[in-house]
Amino acid sequence: MKRSHRSLGRGSLLLISALMVILDQWSKYWAHSTLILGRPVSFIPGFLQLRLVQNSGAAFSLFTDSTLWLGVLSLLVTLGVTGWIWSQPKRGLWMGLALAFLLGGTLGNGIDRWRLGYVTDFLELIPINFPIFNWADVVINLAVISFAIDAFHERHGNA
């Protein structure tokens, strides 16, 4: 029995992206209005704490104090992904989710860079030494996972 091919149209992709940006910006607003810069607050004991930081670089403290360069890169990625979304009226489910998540996450962190001069991070995993992150970072990782699932399906003929 052949599985049906699910797809997402441009409007759905842009709506998903917009929802990711709204969740990201709301969570950062909440973090700024609730947390004290640098002071940890236990959220899920032994697993996740909240610690507000201002990140002037990228993931893993790469390119620290490169806000302008990273802001331009965010803008270019946003324009590129938007063009990629617009190039076809419909995308397969996993490729569509990958593009929507990438656009939402890039735009969420890009807004911070242009508006604040840094990215607001506040989610900190306790069990491992991992950089503090935010919802936009989670969404970008969901994009990577979705790209991988799409590639797997393409390679194995399971669209």
Whether 137 is catalytic is yes
Of the candidates 24, 112, 121, 150, the residue annotated as catalytic is: 121
Q: Counting beta carbons within 10 angstroms of the beta carbon of residue 54, is it exposed (0 to 12), middle (13 to 18) or buried (19 or more)?
A: middle
Q: Which helix (H) or strand (E) holds 27?
A: helix 10-34
Residue at token pair 């990625």: 77
Of the candidates 24, 65, 112, 137, the residue annotated as catalytic is: 137
Whether 121 is catalytic is yes
Beta bridge partners of 55: 119
Catalytic residue list: 121, 137
